[in-house]
Amino acid sequence: MKKYWSRKASSLSPYTAGEQPKIKNLIKLNTNENAYPPSPNVFSAIEAAGAHLRKYPLLAMDALAEAAARAGGLAPENIFCSNGSDEALALCFLAFFDPGKPVLTMDVTYSFYPVWAKLFDITMQILPLNDDFTVPLQEMTGARGGVVLANPNAPTGIALSAGEVEKIVRQNDCVVIVDEAYFGFGAQSVLSLVKKYNNLAVVRTLSKSHSLAGLRVGYVAANPNLISALLAVRDSFNSYPVGTLAQAGGAAALADEAYYKANNEKIIKTREYTADALKAMGAEVLPSAANFIFARPPVPAEKVFKKLREKGIVVRWFNKERISGYLRVSIGTMEEMECFIGEMKRILNG
């Protein structure tokens, strides 16, 4: 089977992304895409940028970097742009972590972290979350090789305060990656703290809060020294990771904060409404600061997952220790969530 494969390729255990079904008319609540379309300005910016497609993209990505920097009161020198934040995270692992120096992370968190660690021969020190899936803060100290932390965490949705994250940055003499994939849905951010700490790298994506999962735009905010390490790694692999259209669309999205703020406030309201409805059905729902909820139904989650799928509602179920009793449900529009809630009631009563 693996004839002609490199030893590296043979050794990998790749990440499994959520299903992208081809069938239409499904209610898709499985990959945390934003419930609402991108700002109309994104489309006009992409159309205008089309005139430049003959040429390579701008290397400095000034407009995108400036728009990203503005949110944290940062400068473009603090920003590294990437083809989605998964790429940013992978390049951070290469730029900041070394084999033989374990990187601290959690047992229940984004399951891509151990995949990159394996790809780059980095070992991980895995800290179990508390029984309530909160981070054991007193143990988040003295990491040797680095720290990688999703805030809010995925798939739990639970967020640490900015003060708590800052303490983790202060207590570790190595790079702390804070993955803010779900910024904009109510959690506090540490973006502006990159001015204060030379070991903090904040990673963000426009896939969730800015409705651009299909465009692939992510970025790292950090001090210029860490940004230089990322550029060295990038330019040893692919110098043009963000295309001309993605740069233009991403910058236009970041410039239209009012549009996204209004959408994301609706999502937060829908999230709380859905959480209350699930609790009323006897489900346990973890407190979420993201555009999804993590809930334990009063019957086996796998069964509920399959029954929802039969009815055309796709959610995510992880067949993994500690969390196999839970479902992760992305927050769609209010209409979609009413369908989901209605189906859940039928499943739990029948």
Binding test (CB under 6 A) with ligand PLP, winner from 30, 39, 78, 85: 85
Choose the stretch contacting ligand PLP; rule: CB under 6 A; options: 16-24, 83-91, 225-233, 246-254. 83-91
Looking at this protein, which amino acid is placed at residue 313? I
* Total residue count of the chain as it appears in this document: 350
Q: For ligand PLP, which is the closer residue by CB, 69 or 203?
A: 203
Distant-in-sequence, close-in-space partners of 68: CB < 8 Å, separation ≥ 6:
74, 79, 81, 204, 219, 221, 250, 254
The binder of ligand PLP chosen from 104, 213, 315, 327 (CB under 6 A):
213
CB contact burial 187-221 (16+ within 10 A = b; e otherwise): bbbbbebbeebebbbbbbbbbbbbbbbebbbbbbb
Structure tokens at 137: 């803060």
Shortest Å, Cβ 154 to ligand PLP: 4
- DSSP-based three-state secondary structure for 82: strand
**Residue closer to ligand PLP (CB basis): 32 or 172:** 32
Size of the site for ligand PLP (CB under 6 A): 12
Closer of 85 and 105 to ligand PLP (Cβ): 85
* Residue from the set 38, 72, 84, 145 that interacts with ligand PLP by CB under 6 A: 84
**CA 184, CA 187: separation in Å to the nearest integer?**
7
Local structure of 96: helix, strand or coil:
helix
Segment near ligand PLP (CB under 6 A); pick from 84-92, 251-259, 299-307, 342-350? 84-92
Residue 332: both structure tokens together: 């769609």
For tokens 């229940």, the residue is 108
What is the x/- site pattern for ligand PLP, positions 179-208, by CB under 6 A?
A: x-x-----------------------x-x-
Near ligand PLP by CB under 6 A, which window of 56-64, 79-87, 263-271, 302-310?
A: 79-87
Cβ closer to ligand PLP: 179 or 336?
179
Asked whether position 38 contacts ligand PLP by CB under 6 A, the answer is no
Site track for ligand PLP across 126-165, x = CB under 6 A = ------------------------x---x-----------
Helical H segments across the chain, by residue range: 7-11, 40-49, 62-70, 85-96, 113-119, 162-170, 224-234, 244-254, 257-280, 301-310, 334-349
Interacting residue ranges for ligand PLP, rule: CB under 6 A: 84-86, 110, 150, 154, 179, 181, 205, 207, 213, 218
